[in-house]
């Protein structure tokens, strides 16, 4: 048995009901995760493959999502490169920040990928526990987001220091890419069907800068793994994707945020398109939430059906304290939606 809905989405085959998965679906909103986190702590959950698999299985068991995803964090790759990493009550902290004087401290050794082996092991453990009709996604950080974290220790704000440091981006990529490609290879070999690149900070770049600075490296990675790389960017516009690369049949698909309309998604011509319901609306009272969700589905299913390759999800990751009852209601409503009404 295979996950027909997700396979159809990857192949852009029309279907009545889309597969459903949320970014951060195994996160802080979920009681299952909260109990495990209280007992073990975030870092141990990520770096212990059996525990990571247990966290990943929680939303599959409780909400019946169609797709699971590796439970980990995008910053472990910076830790493997020697930048140090600590998770505190206020968020992740790197031991030092990247600049022209510190870039030489990055670890370029051949065995650095071994420091990330727990991620592929977690993929393998998760795949072993998933039902055959559920899919599994691996992931890594988006290239611009990893650079912004390395330079500023955050991906929030106007990223002035990061943009002032753009001359370092190419040197950073020369060191990052071999590790990134090896880690991607190992996750795929462990059982991930595709690998998502999560680039939360990408929208802080203009379309022209994004295309000239970041896109060549995305293309290099995608060429190593044709149709196995999905890309999510936050705050980007259709103009960011107005480039010949996105006319090629290389990427597995794109994830978009809640600023994108159904018509924007219909105009995409590559692989799946994942998103784009406003994650904040899950905090509404149920009756009001259902009004917004059904209006959203009406728009998604207008003009003859949903966008080709649509994977139903949120515009960004599910937020802490999101009511679990509305998560379950989202899944139920999408699955039962009658677009022929």
**Token output for 203:** 């929208």
For 229-250, write each residue's pLDDT tens digit: 999 999 999 999 999 999 888 9
Residue 270 domain-assigned (yes or no): yes
Residue 57 domain-assigned (yes or no): yes
For 246-305, write each residue's pLDDT tens digit: 988 899 999 999 999 999 999 888 899 999 999 999 999 999 999 999 999 999 999 878
Cβ burial of 195 (10 Å; 0-12, 13-18, 19+) is buried
**Token output for 87:** 């998770």
Confidence of residue 118 (pLDDT cuts 50, 70, 90): very high
Confidence of residue 1 (pLDDT cuts 50, 70, 90): low
Residue 197 domain-assigned (yes or no): yes
Residue 249 domain-assigned (yes or no): yes
Please tell me the total number of residues recorded for the chain in this structure. Answer: 341
CB 228, CB 41: distance < 8 Å: no
Residue 50 domain-assigned (yes or no): yes
- CATH number of the domain where residue 127 is located: 3.20.20.210
Sign of CA dihedral 54, 50, 48, 76: negative
**Token output for 41:** 């702590």
341, pLDDT greater than 80: no
For residue 340, the model assigns a pLDDT of 67
Residue 341 domain-assigned (yes or no): no
d(CA 219, CA 177): 12
For 174-231, write each residue's pLDDT tens digit: 999 999 999 999 999 999 999 999 999 999 999 999 999 999 999 999 999 999 999 9
Q: Residues of 236-269 as b/e, b for ≥16 C-beta within 10 angstroms?
A: bbbebbebeebeeebbbbbbbbbebebebbbebe
For 47-60, write each residue's pLDDT tens digit: 999 999 999 999 99
CB 230, CB 196: distance < 8 Å: yes
CB 69, CB 25: distance < 8 Å: yes
Cβ burial of 88 (10 Å; 0-12, 13-18, 19+) is exposed
23, pLDDT greater than 60: yes
DSSP states of 191-206: T-SEEEEEETTGGGS-
d(CA 104, CA 41): 32
d(CA 299, CA 262): 7
Give all strands of the β-sheet with 272-277 in edge-to-edge order.
67-69, 135-141, 194-199, 229-233, 253-255, 272-277, 310-314
Phi then psi dihedrals of residue 19, to 5 deg: -70, 155
d(CA 181, CA 178): 5
pTM for the whole structure: 0.95
Q: Which residue reads 């599994």 in tokens?
A: 136
Query: Which residues form the domain of 104?
Result: 4-336
d(CA 172, CA 176): 6
For residue 91, the model assigns a pLDDT of 84
Q: Which residue reads 């060429």 in tokens?
A: 223
Instruction: Count structural domains, the chain.
Output: 1
d(CA 250, CA 245): 8
Residue 29 domain-assigned (yes or no): yes
Q: Which residues have a Cβ under 8 Å from the Cβ of 260 and sit 6 or more positions away?
A: 238, 275, 276, 315
Q: What is the mean pLDDT of residues 86-93?
A: 87
Q: Which residue reads 């939360």 in tokens?
A: 200
Helices 324-336 and 49-63: crossing angle, nearest 10°? 60
**Token output for 78:** 């910076």
């Amino acid at each position: 048995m295979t996950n027909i809905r997700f396979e159809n989405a990857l192949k852009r085959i029309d279907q009545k009901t889309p597969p459903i998965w949320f970014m951060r679906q195994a996160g802080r909103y979920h009681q299952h995760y909260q109990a495990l986190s209280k007992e073990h702590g975030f870092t141990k959950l990520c770096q212990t493959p059996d525990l990571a698999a247990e966290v990943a299985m929680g939303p599959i068991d409780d909400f019946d999502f169609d797709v699971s995803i590796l439970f980990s964090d995008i910053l472990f790759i910076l830790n493997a490169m020697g930048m140090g990493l600590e998770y505190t009550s206020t968020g992740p902290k790197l031991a030092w920040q990247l600049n022209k004087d510190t870039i030489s401290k990055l670890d370029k050794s051949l065995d650095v990928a071994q420091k990330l082996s727990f991620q592929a092991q977690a993929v393998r453990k998760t795949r072993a526990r998933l039902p055959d009709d559920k899919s599994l996604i691996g992931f890594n950080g988006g290239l611009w987001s990893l650079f912004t974290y390395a330079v500023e220790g955050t991906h929030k704000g106007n990223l002035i220091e990061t943009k002032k440091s753009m001359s370092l981006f190419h040197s950073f990529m020369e060191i990052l890419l071999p590790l990134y490609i090896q880690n991607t290879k190992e996750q795929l070999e462990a059982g991930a069907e595709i690998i998502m690149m999560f680039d939360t900070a990408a929208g802080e770049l203009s379309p022209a800068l994004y295309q000239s600075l970041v896109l060549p490296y995305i293309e290099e990675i995608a060429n190593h793994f044709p149709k196995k790389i999905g890309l999510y960017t936050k705050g980007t516009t259709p103009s960011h994707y107005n480039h010949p690369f996105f006319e090629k049949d290389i990427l597995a698909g794109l994830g978009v945020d809640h600023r994108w309309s159904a018509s924007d998604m219909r105009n995409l011509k590559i692989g799946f398109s994942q998103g784009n319901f406003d994650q904040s609306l899950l905090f509404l009272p149920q009756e009001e939430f259902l009004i917004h969700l059904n209006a959203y589905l009406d728009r998604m299913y207008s003009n003859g059906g949903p966008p080709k390759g649509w994977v139903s999800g949120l515009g960004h990751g599910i937020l802490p304290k999101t009511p679990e009852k509305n998560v379950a209601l989202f899944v139920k409503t999408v699955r039962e939606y009658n677009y022929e009404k």
